[in-house]
Amino acid sequence: MRVTLKDVAKQSGLGLGTVSRAMADKFGVAPATRARVLAAARELGYRPNAAARALAGQRLHLHQKDQILVAFLRHESGVSDAYFEQACANRGMRGLCVAPKKFAGPKAAARELYAWGVDALIVSPYKLAWTEADMKDFDWSLFSIVGMARDFRFGGFEIVRHHAFAYMHESLVKLRDAGFRRIQVILHRSISLYDDDERLGAALAFQSRNKSGGVRLRISSIDGDLDHESMSTAMDLLSSDWADVILFDHFAFIGRLRQRGGGDLLDRRPYAAVIAVDDSSDPYGTVSGCLLCDAQRFSRAVSACQNLIQTGRRGRFEHPAEHLIDPAWEVRQSLRRPA
């Protein structure tokens, strides 16, 4: 069992405040009192708490620096970088976009980022090409950490997520405004039942509000792993002539269908994806996509970083928070009836 300052105070018969000042060699402690405290500490085998000293050093470091430095850790640069840098500037912080491939490995990345004076990291797990082993090699305890999405590797970090309802609603509105009137929605059942319910709810809400405008929806849910039964269902949906556009909830699902031989059926009509790659060459591939909420997500992420830094919370912790961006700003325009 580790010996604490409270144990030293009890052994020396002095108050905890006096013992703390004596151990820290603070001014105002009599030499005899300091000697008494040190003797009690040696007798008990007391060792300073390195974590507490590091935290105190970090707070001192923050007071000495002109600006807090936050790094956005992602594999490749993209348009999200501008949203991140603007969010930092809005709060008087410096933002640094970093690709891990610049370093000799996860251990070197942590060491160099810390040497640069980085206080916090915002990490996009889907844009970070690291294995689970790489994640373990990186010393997360040096920084305050905020993740940009749920990921099994990111347990114990603050999470800022998108809002699945808003993504789906915005995509349907854009298809409606583009002139499509018969929309086949294909949802893939995912690990996140919360997101599945949000997407389905958005499609049903859009359907109920747009019937008078002549827009018709058919909604189907398919297992994302595309087993034999799911693949057969997907092929039947793609073969149907009812829809004039097909909306998938994720661009990756389209890739799986092509790999399984569904490419010819896909190309019979326009299709779109709610969540898409940033720079898709497909003209219908990025109807809504990952960028819809980026400004709000990064604003929330930088705010979370600032709070973690100010409270001295670094690395993983037992009770992380999950920050969902407020969907009101997104849905307000989407719920208008078509003219």
Question: Per DSSP, what are the bridge partners of residue 188?
Answer: 222
- Is pLDDT above 50 for 282? no
- What percent of the chain has pLDDT above 70? 75
- pLDDT value, residue 239: 92
- pLDDT value, residue 150: 67
User: Please, what are the domains in the chain?
Assistant: 5-48 (1.10.260.40), 66-162+295-329 (3.40.50.2300), 164-275 (3.40.50.2300)
Is 249:168 a contact under the CB 8 Å cutoff?
yes
Q: Which residue has the higher pLDDT, 62 or 132?
A: 132
Closest CA to 239 of 257, 251, 259, 217: 257
The pair of three-digit structure tokens given for residue 7, joined into one six-digit string? 């144990």
Q: Encode pLDDT of 174-190 as tens digits.
A: 888 888 999 999 988 76
Query: 79: pLDDT confidence band, cut at 50, 70 and 90?
Result: low
For tokens 């595309």, what's the residue? 226
In DSSP notation, 116-164 reads: TT--EEEE-GGG----HHHHHHS-GGGSEEEESS--GGGTTSEEEE--H
Predicted model pTM: 0.54
- pLDDT value, residue 194: 60
The pair of three-digit structure tokens given for residue 227, joined into one six-digit string? 């087993």
- Is pLDDT above 90 for 121? yes
In DSSP notation, 249-279 reads: EEHHHHHHHHHTT-HHHHTTS-EEEEE--TT
Query: 337: pLDDT confidence band, cut at 50, 70 and 90?
Result: very low
| Ranges of H-type helices in the chain | 5-12, 16-23, 31-44, 50-64, 80-90, 106-115, 132-137, 164-177, 193-210, 228-239, 251-259, 263-266, 294-310, 328-334
Amino acid letter, 191: I
Q: Encode pLDDT of 192-247 as tens digits.
A: 556 777 788 888 888 888 888 889 999 998 887 778 888 889 899 999 999 998 98
Q: Encode pLDDT of 3-49 as tens digits.
A: 778 888 888 888 877 887 787 766 567 888 888 988 888 888 887 65
Query: 153: pLDDT confidence band, cut at 50, 70 and 90?
Result: low
- Give whole-number Cα distances, 255 to 45, 219, 289, in Å: 62, 20, 16
